[in-house]
Amino acid sequence: MVLVTGGAGYIGSHTCIALHEAGFDFVVFDNLSNASQESLFRVQKIIDRPISFVQGDIRDKEALRSVFTQYDIDAVIHFAGLKAVGESVQQPLEYYDNNINGTIVLCQVMQEFGCKNMVFSSSATVYGDPHTTPIKEDFPLSATNPYGRTKLFIEEILRDIFVSDTSWNIVLLRYFNPVGAHKSGLIGEDPNGIPNNLMPFIAQTAVKKRDYLSVFGDDYDTVDGTGVRDYIHVVDLAFGHVKALEKISNIKEVLTVNLGTGKGYSVLEMVRAFEKASGKDVPYQIAPRRSGDVAKCFADPSYAFETLGWSAQKGIQEMCEDSWRWQSQNPNGYAKD
Ligand code: NAD
Ligand code: WQD
C-alpha cells in the first residue's frame, strides 16, 4: 500500500490515477488546506472505484500513526506542502513549519513503522539562478525564497536520514513546471484566488475570468525577451512517480532526478500555443520583471531516462489542449457553480 500525502492536490490527484493504472493500491492523506475533496471524488469517477482517504495533517503524529496502523504502508509519495513563493516570503514560519516540520514528523512515523521508502516532491527551484542550461542534477543548489529553502532543507534532511540508516530508499524528484490536466477534463489545477503561475493565468484569461495576462519582462536574454521554462505535462509527471516506485526497493541511495522535458518555451510561445489549442484570444501586456524570476530554466532530463527509464511523452500543444479542456469545463475549478 502506498501512502500519498497531499494526494488531493494538483499533482497528487493525477498521480492517484497513474498509481491505479499501474496496479498500486494507495491511501490519500491530505488536510485539504489547498485542495477540495471534490478532486478525489472525480478521481474515483475516472478510475471507477472508491479510494481510501484520510483527512489529516502531516504535522499530526497521532493521525499519521493511526494511518500506518490501519494500512500496511510500504512506501510514501510525499506531495503535502505549501507551494506559493510569494506567500512564503510573507509567512516564512508557516512554510518552515508545514513543509519542514511536517516532513520530519512524517519521517519519524515512517521510521517507527519500519517504512523506509520515500518519493519526495522537490523542485527545480533548488537550482536558484542556474549559470547555464540545460540543468543537470549536479548543478550548484541555492534558494531565493523561503519556499525554495524548504525544498533545499528537506533534501538535506532526507540525505542525512539516509547517511544514518542506509536501509532507506529515497527518491528526490525535482519537477520543472507542471501544467496540463487529465484528458477527461475532470481534474486539473485549481488555484485559490489570482493564479501566480503562468498556465492557470493564461487559461483564466482565455475563459475571460481575467482581462489580460501581464507578461513579466520582455528584456531577458531569451528567444523573444520573455522568460523561458520547461513545462511538463502533469500526466507525464505523475507517471514519473510510478517509475520511481517500481524501482524504489532497489535504490539504496538518495536518487536525485530532474523531471522535465528538456525543452524550454518562452511566455509568448506559451501564449501562442494556448491560443492555437483553445481557439481563444489571450490578450497580454508587457509588465516589469517579477522579482526573483530567472531568464531561463530547463532540464537536462537524461538521468531520469537512464535511472528510471522515464521520459516525457507529451508536447506543448497537448499540454495546452488539456489545460483548456479542464478550464473550459470547470471555469470555477472544483467549486460548485
Ligand atoms: P497542491 O497545493 O495542489 O497539493 C499539495 C497538497 O498538500 C494539497 O492538497 C494540500 O491540501 C496538501 N497539504 C498541504 N499541507 C499539508 C499538511 N500539512 N498536511 C496534509 N496535507 C497538506 O500542490 P501541487 O502543485 O500538487 O504540488 C505538490 C508538491 O509538489 C508540493 O510539495 C509542491 O511544493 C511540489 N512542487 C510543485 C510544483 C508546481 O509548480 N505545482 C513544482 C515543483 C514542486
Ligand atoms: C513561468 C514564467 C514568469 C505569471 C514557479 C515556482 C517554482 C515552481 C514552479 C514549485 C516566468 C512568467 C508568470 C504571469 C508571466 N513551483 N509569468 N505572467 O516562476 O518558473 O516557477 O512555479 O516548486 O518554485 O517559482 O513559474 O508559472 O510562475 O512562471 O509572465 O502572470 O511565466 O515570469 O517567466 P516559475 P510561473
- The full DSSP string for 183-206 is TTSSS----SSS--SHHHHHHHHH
Query: For residue 226, is it within any domain?
Result: no
Q: Percent helix, strand, coil in the chain (nearest 5)?
A: 40, 20, 40
Q: How far apart are CA 280 and CA 323, in angstroms?
A: 13
Q: Are 29 and 3 in contact (CB under 8 A)?
A: yes
Query: For residue 148, is it within any domain?
Result: yes
Query: For residue 53, is it within any domain?
Result: yes
Q: Can you give the pLDDT at residue 80? A: 99
Query: For residue 186, is it within any domain?
Result: no
Closest residue by CA, ligand 2 atom 23: 123
**Model confidence over 72-116: pLDDT tens digits?**
999 999 999 999 999 999 999 999 999 999 999 999 999 999 999
Indicate the SS3 state at residue 249.
Answer: helix
Indicate the SS3 state at residue 305.
Answer: helix
pTM: 0.98
From 10, 95, 127, 147, active-site residue: 147
Closest residue by CA, ligand 2 atom 28: 197
Is ligand 2 within 6 A of the CB of residue 293?
A: yes
The CATH number given to whatever domain includes residue 154 is 3.40.50.720
What average pLDDT does this structure show over 3-14? 98
Is ligand 2 within 6 A of the CB of residue 123?
A: yes
Query: For residue 97, is it within any domain?
Result: yes
The proportion of the chain whose per-residue pLDDT surpasses 90, expressed as a percent, equals: 98
Question: How many structural domains comprise the chain?
Answer: 1
Query: For residue 159, is it within any domain?
Result: yes
Respond yes or no: is residue 147 known to be catalytic: yes
Query: For residue 282, is it within any domain?
Result: no
Q: How far is the CA of 293 from the centre of ligand 2 (A)?
A: 8
- What is the band of 117 on the pLDDT scale with cuts at 50, 70, 90? very high
The total number of residues written for the chain in this structure: 337
Residue 138 lies in domain: 2-179+232-260
Residue partners of 182: CB distance under 8 A and separation at least 6: 14, 17, 46, 188, 234, 235, 322, 326
C-alpha cell at 287: 509588465
Q: How far is the CA of 224 from the centre of ligand 1 (A)?
A: 32
Q: Are 257 and 307 in contact (CB under 8 A)?
A: yes
**Model confidence over 160-216: pLDDT tens digits?**
999 999 999 999 999 999 999 999 999 999 999 999 999 999 999 999 999 999 999
Query: For residue 286, is it within any domain?
Result: no
What average pLDDT does this structure show over 113-142? 97
Q: Can you give the pLDDT at residue 264? A: 98
